[in-house]
Structure 1
Amino acid sequence: MQTVHVHTTSHDYPIHIGAGILCDFSLFAPYIGKKIAIVTNETVAPLYLNQLTDLFKKNNIQYFTIILPDGEQYKNHDSLNQIYDALLTHHADRKTTLIALGGGVIGDMVGFAAATYQRGVPFIQIPTTLLSQVDSSVGGKTAINHPLGKNMIGAFYQPKLVMTDLNTLQTLPEKEFSAGMAEVIKYGLLGDLDFFVWIEQNIHEIMHQQPEKLTKIIAHCCQMKANIVAQDETEQGIRAHLNLGHTFGHAIETEMGYGNWLHGEAVAAGTVLACALSEQLGCLKNGDTARVAALFRAANLPDKPPKFPFNQWIAHMRHDKKVENGIMRFITLQKLGCAQISEISDMKLLDFLRNHNFSRF
């Protein structure tokens, strides 16, 4: 087992990474109260819920379960209310620990419920997808979606513990594994060129889920994110770099309907667009965008977005959280491995979208 430590102004917490660690009660014991609420979805519950409830039952911990429908389209106010309803029905108090058992959708919703129920209760992340293991379970960003924008309603609220059991990836569909690789590749692009090159060199073994390679990418991404969160917990500066590809990606998700494009798929296509924009701004070298697109293709991810009207792109991106004083701010690349924030006018963005050849790569 490897452990990455996250340091924040609110509290510090560990990320335990290993195979079969969900069976180890000693890892949970310091972070749970006498009552636990386990929140999961209809896909994950048949796979791992009994394993977890048996562990708590064996150790005389009271628990109740909340099973939500599966999918990004259910990351909304109605699902959040289902969590609140169950917490109130079971008389959950401020000592009740919420456990998020699932991918990024479950983790985001449970984190937001924990941040707001009785003004804050403890919660634990058990991420079961590669995407949530390398990114969304770490750093305390919690949210639900709104029809006009993704993740626009939420809070910064850190978990007490993250338990990343590599065995959960064995039941993950290939498409979901590829979606997680979008975030892995993103980390190399925004802050570690050596890591990006290593991914290029090892992509075949990674896609075949070689255990040593999986452990390396998960631990490396978690450490990178932990370092960034320690500097900027509430995304006032450098943490925004983690949104590379996400402004374009969120526009794709919103336009196509939540769940029709997986988050990682949208981020992959959005990151290629962010690279192309960086190239147009004179930052990336000619050919860099094609190199990035090739790696996404090797990870079985899209390297170009769906086509929809340019005015819809602008409308969706104007709801992005990085918009300041009416000016859109994008994460672009100074060079591969080095991100920056760039202010882009509507006119310049529209010109880029109109002139960009979406089938170029």
Structure 2
Amino acid sequence: MIPGLNVARELQQRYPQAVMQFLGSGRPQEEGLVASAGFQHYALSSESLATARRRPWQFLWRNWRAVRQARALFQDQKPTAVIGLGGFASVPPVVAARRMGIPTVLLEQNIIPGRATRWLCRRAGAVCVSYAASAEHLPAGVKVEQTGNPVHPDIAALVASSHTDQRRILLILGGSQGASAVNRAVTMAADILQDQLTGWTIMHQTGINDWREVEHEYQRLGLEHTTSPFFSDMPQRYADAGLAVSRAGATTLAELACAGCPTIAIPYPYAADDHQRLNAREFVTAGAAKIVEQQSTLDQTAELLAKQISRLLADDARRLEMRHAMHSLARPLAARDVADIICRTVDDSLKR
């Protein structure tokens, strides 16, 4: 959803009179993100692929209804193009659009394209990917464009920030999928590293459920810290960070790259197609990140994490090298490039 919002901002800037509308699930978080960005949101009755085996008839019925709902909306609104954002909620509107001859473009953030992208890509005008290797996992003949992952303009602007390594802020991004395991592993690692963390400030985004517990642990340890369920000023948090600990979601990694922030990635072990681990490996190969695998017990994960944090806290030169490597992976113009591809796809369809 976030990359789509960033592309919508770019298109809105180019075409102030254009109307950007988002179709998706009725999840409150999704609706809230769209509303806060100033765009319209329509909830379809689509059903997640996760329910297909447990409730196959409900899955088919609800998604058939979602296609009809999208078709009715398109007949009324007559969109110039429909952009699929990679999740399964994008399938019904993209299916409706191509049946109606409306140009479609797909965005795929992860190195391994999701099932929705793999199903829809053959008849899409283009598939915009973050990683060159993604093309290897799509059928021959699909038009693949490596654009990078569109980030917010304020985060894209961080590419121009200083490459020095005097920052002493440890940024923890624990407000994502599987956040509790990250939050607990980090606080346990902080206990191990209590002395070494002197002089550093921990900035920890915890997510809603774990905030009180995490805050209590840092107070108990006497470490300088700031915690919040979610930070509303992420560009500034990224700019201030000297080292980050995070899951390996594609959007977060793209934002960290723009900030040039050395990162310890803890891939979510249950991600579809193990895409988080594969995302992170691209950054490790470039020398921009380290991976700590989530173990079967929190104690084991915390011990490995503490060792990795300890090495990097003690090595300013290594963090500086990682910062340069992170910056080299940044694609701050991704939203612009995706918008260009959308416009070309529309132009090509009008010439036919």
Interval containing the TM-score (normalised by the shorter chain): 0.3 to 0.5
Larger Rg: 2
- Structure with the larger strand share: 1
